[in-house]
Amino acid sequence: MLRPMEWKSGKLRLLDQTRLPEAEVYLELEDYREVASAIREMRVRGAPAIGLAAAYGLVLGAQKLQTPNRQEFLSELAQVKEELSATRPTAVNLFWALERLWQVAEGEPDPSSLKARLLEEARCLEVEEVAAEQRLGEYGAQLIPDGATVLTHCHTGSLATGGYGTALGIIRVAHERGKRVKVIADETRPRLQGARLTAWELKRLGIPVMVIVDGAAGSFLSRGLIDCVVVGADRVAANGDTANKIGTYSLAVLAMENGVPFYVAAPWSSIDLSLPSGSEIPVEERPEDEITHIRGQRLLPQGVGVANPAFDITPHQYITAIITERGVVREPYVTKLKELISG
């Protein structure tokens, strides 16, 4: 079985997503700064996976701390937390996971237990996340008709999550339940997660997949070749507005225009009820070379500027349903999401 993220012998073992599909290279990280770099450089990416990697990063940071003094320990740990928080701004899972571990640290009166308690909580988070994805997958699979062709964007499979998948988890459950599902995967420029990672993972799972350029999705929708669109989420605001990989908003508009359901798969760890709407979600601007270069080769003429927002915001009115591990939510999201708080 694929273990893209694993805590092993006091280290975080990570499958380097930037090297796929050519090479399966595992990183063994012992220092929280290495985890921060791996998140920043997208060696680990996908909202739930970022959250878990950050949690293990905090564990690594804690393990290096020497002080027996609880207050000093917490103050130094706060520094580590801050550095890990500063890696990427959009996926709320990062802040959510760090905050959960932080609460454990603050709530633990015995300094000698702190390191063990943090590791325990990170492991717990991972187990919970996988279980949540499987439940989410079960809920979502009920919405996928037998014989459906599903369009997806970016990559939301085992590499990007707790280990099962969110949008791809739904497709995976549908497939495992015997539904004949085909996937059309946007290649997802600039980093080609659809072409590289979604195609790679679906092929491993034995689910038929075909890759198209992002600009072709509209044509496939308008020709009636797509039965539903399923995407992941980096952050869902209280009103249902959803931040996800750049290009998602376009798919939502095009799906609605063509009467095709548009589903967002979001584990509870991706939902941020503290933000009233999507306009408050910070959108990361990624480095220019993601667009200007590919594999070290320059594509654009010298001296031409680029803009590279990594995410866009899909307003809730374009979203047919948000699928969580706590159930399937539809409009009005602003009340229906709140009803799920109790779990």
Tell me the catalytic residues: 234
**Residue 19 lies near a copy of itself (rule: CB under 8 A):** no
Give the tokens for residue 128: 């919970």
**CB 95, min distance to a copy of itself, A:** 23
Measured CA to CA, the distance from residue 167 to residue 193 in angstroms comes to: 14
Name which of 52, 63, 176, 60 is nearest 124 in CA terms: 52
Interface residue with a copy of itself among 200, 262, 263, 333 (CB under 8 A) is 200
Interface residue with a copy of itself among 66, 71, 112, 297 (CB under 8 A) is 297
Closest CB to a copy of itself among 84 and 252? 252
**Residue 2 lies near a copy of itself (rule: CB under 8 A):** no
Give the tokens for residue 270: 């991706």
Phi/psi region, residue 295 (left: phi>0; alpha: psi -120 to 50; beta: rest), is left
Q: Map residue 274 onto helix, strand or coil.
A: coil
From residue 202, alpha-carbon distances to 184, 198, 289 in Å are 11, 6, 28
* x/- letters, 105..144, toward a copy of itself (CB under 8 A): ----------------------------------------
**Residue 224 lies near a copy of itself (rule: CB under 8 A):** no
**Residue 65 lies near a copy of itself (rule: CB under 8 A):** no
Q: Map residue 103 onto helix, strand or coil.
A: helix
**Residue 215 lies near a copy of itself (rule: CB under 8 A):** yes
> Residue 128: is it exposed, middle or buried by C-beta count within 10 angstroms (0-12/13-18/19+)?
middle
Contact predicate 220/184, CB 8 Å: yes
**Residue 72 lies near a copy of itself (rule: CB under 8 A):** no
- Chain positions contacting a copy of itself, by CB under 8 A: 21-22, 153, 184, 186-190, 192, 195-196, 199-200, 203, 209-220, 222, 245-247, 249-250, 253-254, 257, 291, 294-295, 297-301, 303-309, 312-313
